[in-house]
């Protein structure tokens, strides 16, 4: 998982968007979780579109309209808070794989 992550740019909690060919990595991540017998609940797959939304979901304010790839991406505060939490959790996974063992 660490080697696969090296081909992507570094992702941090302040990354504004996560684009590129990440789907293969997310598929491998799910296989890794299965091998490690990690509890994933009802999650059967990780979709790139879903993970990407964690990074650009921001609270939509009247003065700040967020448009990514021509799509308005502002959300209500509740969803923006949830996206913030999910983004940090994913970054924790990326940090763990980036460390040398």
Q: In this predicted structure, what is the pLDDT of residue 30?
A: 92
Is the entire prediction scored with pTM above 0.75? Answer: no
Give mean pLDDT, residues 13-39. 89
Give mean pLDDT, residues 34-55. 87
Over 60: is that where the pLDDT of 33 sits?
Answer: yes
Give the strand pairing for 74-75 and 58-59: parallel
Q: For the chain, give the mean pLDDT.
A: 82
Give mean pLDDT, residues 14-26. 88
CA distances to 38, 44, 52 from 15, in Å: 26, 26, 10
Q: Which residue has the higher pLDDT, 79 or 30?
A: 30
């Amino acid at each position: 998982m660490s080697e696969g992550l090296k081909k992507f740019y570094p992702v941090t909690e302040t990354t504004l968007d996560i684009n590129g060919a990440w789907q293969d990595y997310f598929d491998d991540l799910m296989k890794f979780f299965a091998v490690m017998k990690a509890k994933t609940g009802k999650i059967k797959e990780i979709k790139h579109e879903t993970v990407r939304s964690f990074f650009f979901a921001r609270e939509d304010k009247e003065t700040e309209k967020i448009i990514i790839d021509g799509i308005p991406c502002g959300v209500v505060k509740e969803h923006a808070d949830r996206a913030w939490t999910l983004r940090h959790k994913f970054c924790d996974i990326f940090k763990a794989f980036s460390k040398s063992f």
